[in-house]
Chain A
Amino acid sequence: MSALARSLSTTLYGRRGLALALLLAPPLLWLGIVYCGSLLALLANSFYGLDEFSGVIKREFTLKNFVELAAPANRDVIARTVGMAAAVTVGCALVAFPIAYLMARYTRGWVRAALYLGVMLPLWSSYLVRVYAWKLLLAREGVVNWMFAEAGLSWLLQGILAVPGIGGPSLSISSLGTFIVFVYIWLPFMILPIQAALERVPQSLIEASADLGAHDAATFRKVILPLALPGVIAGSIFTFSLTLGDYIIPGIIGDSSLYLGQVVYLQQGTAGNVPLAAAFTLVPITVMAVYLAVAKRMGAFDAL
């Protein structure tokens, strides 16, 4: 056995390429066949049609799905989803920046470790539970309403809810509620890349700026902010992409207006129209491809 292992080892050592191929074969076969194969199946499906009478998928080339994508109702869904993704990205960046800035520049040792864990735990776990928490908080009889009432500010909440477009009968049935939950769920994905980018800003650069007579505010604006931007863009890749594809949050918290992910889910589920669902999925893929191309140009990948 050991002689066999040794001779095999010698053979492999002489041929690095062979060793590499043997190591890579299983993961490549898995991802190549299972994942790429599935993506190709998705692409193929988007060009198939549905038999109108039997509801069975017809494997014939058609562009019908893409024509249907451009229908006004579907265009609204796409615009609404992209708009929400953009708003959520801005919201996340605004809330995340102070946290990332404090972590990167003003903390050391166990404080930093605790903050890091505090950001990492919600990032890895309990997605549904965290959405559920907001169902409790935003319900009409729930915590947020109670707090507004206790503070004597119910009129303010009612005023916000009366705003057309973002309001609704209660926070849990409004697009403002959807927005809040999206920001809450994806926030850690924005904090970590900004923190990573800020940690890489050399102290000497900040000292140089001060030596040259810049006030703290000027240093922040002219030195720190531009260097943090790749981190913000890296974070925005996550927040944007995740919002585009999520179908669970707007289904649980929000008014009844549909988002892209929900349409995909409904089409493949109740409607049984996998081809149209597949065509819809190509929208976030295309949007993300464009987004990634722009982000790459702005140097965001170095901050990932």
Chain B
Amino acid sequence: MRSDAAPRAPRALQAAALAGMAFLHVPMLFIFLYAFSSEDQTYVFPPPGLTTKWFGVAWERPDVWQAIELSLQVAAVSTALALVLGTLAALALARTRFFGREAVSLLLVLPIALPGIVTGIALRSAYGLGGIPFGFWTIVVGHATFCVVVVYNNAVARLRRTSPSLIEASMDLGADAFQTLRHVLLPSLGTALLAGGMLAFALSFDEVIVTTFTAGQQTTLPIWMLQELVRPRQRPVTNVVAVVIVALTFLPILAAYYLTRGDEHARAPHK
């Protein structure tokens, strides 16, 4: 018997944990089932028949495509901004101690520590006071703000794992600070930044609460989904889009997990 083998859990504990995990995952399975339901007026269970025609119907919907396109653009630009700002903050804070350091790290975490509605209404108040019209960039500013901390967390976890003697060796061998950054720090940061970027992308792609306050007339995919939830128009199309959203967000998250296996795990996002 291997010495690191896990001890056997009591039956009651196994049952309780299994029930909890089922509660966490079984509901999503029904989304997949309903995407194939032939019923288009109600959520009747079991579905009277199965069909793949709704995927074709959804494919033909220009409003869905426009929403996906806007969401991808917003997520891409927000992630790019977050990558720059988050990396800079991580390089500055990873190994330094200075007066006000705690305040700076609090400031970084604040956008995800406070409920999304606070961030949303705060940005809206500011846009209102500044007379800034709502549009693409007002959404991006909000998303980038809460995505910075995601990149920062991943980058800081990796920098803490990178040995400081590597940096010293690089300097001793005559490299200047920029060469060290380019040839030593950034390569070791690479996969952590990729992971942080993917999580930030997923977070932005999925965000709805802050977006409702900063979007004006623009419809991102989650806003489209929210409108369908409040006033359903064609339920089967909503079911299909739901499956697409799940697929599009699971992939980057799985990739991010794979890329940062050895790091201490990044902190939770907010809603």
Contact = CB atoms under 8 A, between A and B. Distances in A.
Interface in B9-43: 9, 13-14, 16-17, 20-21, 23-25, 27-28, 30-31, 34, 42-43
Interface residues of B, number: 93
Interface of A: 5-6, 8-10, 12-13, 16-17, 19-20, 23-24, 26-28, 30-32, 34-39, 41-42, 44-45, 57, 95-96, 98-99, 101-103, 105-108, 111, 115, 117-137, 139, 141-143, 145-146, 184-185, 187-189, 192, 238, 241-242, 244-248, 251-252, 261, 264-265, 268, 274, 277-278, 281, 284-285, 288, 304
11 contacts: A5-B176, A5-B179, A34-B126, A102-B17, A125-B246, A128-B225, A136-B45, A137-B30, A139-B43, A245-B114, A268-B213
A265 to B, nearest CB: 7
A261 B117 contact: yes
A126 B245 contact: yes
Contacts of A105: 6-7, 9
B44 interface: yes
Interface in B185-232: 199, 202-203, 206, 208-209, 212-213, 222, 225-226, 229-230
Nearest to B16: A98
A277 B108 contact: no
Main secondary structure on B side of the interface with A: helix
Contacts, number: 278
A44 B21 CA distance: 45
B84 A26 contact: yes
Contacts of A130: 27-28
A19 B118 CA distance: 33
B117 A281 contact: yes
A38 B122 contact: yes
A12 B122 contact: no
Contacts of B172: none
Contact of A285 (B9, B21, B92, B118): B118
Interface in B106-126: 107-108, 110-111, 113-119, 121-126
B222 A128 contact: yes
